[in-house]
Structure 1
Amino acid sequence: MKQTSPVLESIQQDIRIRGYSLRTEKAYLYWVRRYILFLKKAHPENLGSVDVKNFLNW
């Protein structure tokens, strides 16, 4: 059984409530996971626009 984080579960619920397609859900969750791993699982409170910019430039 694959464990997911509460953050990813929350994002997944929001995506489903909005009625996005399954492919879109999978793509969004993939990129959120990549972002989390890129930032070495740092807490969102400690992140800012510079971190997003660094990820996108990476």
Structure 2
Amino acid sequence: MKSPFLTMIAKQMYLKRYAKSTIKAYLYWIASFIRFNSMRHQTTMGANEVDQLVNQQNVAPNTQTLALNALSFLFKEAIKKPLSLSLGFF
């Protein structure tokens, strides 16, 4: 079963009428982000941790964009602490 935190994020996305496939992809990247950072609380992390996760994964630019969008949603909508614009992608 998913964590209460991921369930809350999924509900937020359903209310905003996100597609089921988008919700599934976003939850995958958010869970990966949490695991990658050793289960640290999300409020203690920021743009540096996002940059490390996405750039370390060695994935295509479109996948990086999907991951960035998922983590941007996490910080903007769930944590209420938007990411800075100084991320180094691509």
TM-score scaled by length of structure 2: 0.57
Q: 1:45: Cα distance to partner?
A: 2.2
Residue 10 of structure 2 corresponds to which residue in structure 1?
Answer: 12
Match of 1:45, SS state, is helix
> Structure 2 unaligned runs (5+)?
57-90
Pairing 1:39-58 to 2, within 5 Å after superposition: 39-58=37-56
Q: Deviations over 1:21-56 (max 9, x none)?
A: 111111111111111111111011221211111111
Percent of aligned pairs with the same residue? 32
> Structure 1 unaligned runs (5+)?
none
Instruction: Please say if residues 34 and 42 of structure 2, whose CA atoms lie closer than 8 Å, have aligned partners that are also in contact.
Output: no
Match of 2:19 among 18, 21, 30: 21
TM-score scaled by length of structure 1: 0.84
Please provide the CA RMSD for this pair. Answer: 1.0
* Aligned equivalents of 2:49, 2:8: Cα separation in 1: 21
* Aligned equivalents of 2:18, 2:48: Cα separation in 1: 28
* Aligned equivalents of 1:23, 1:49: Cα separation in 2: 25
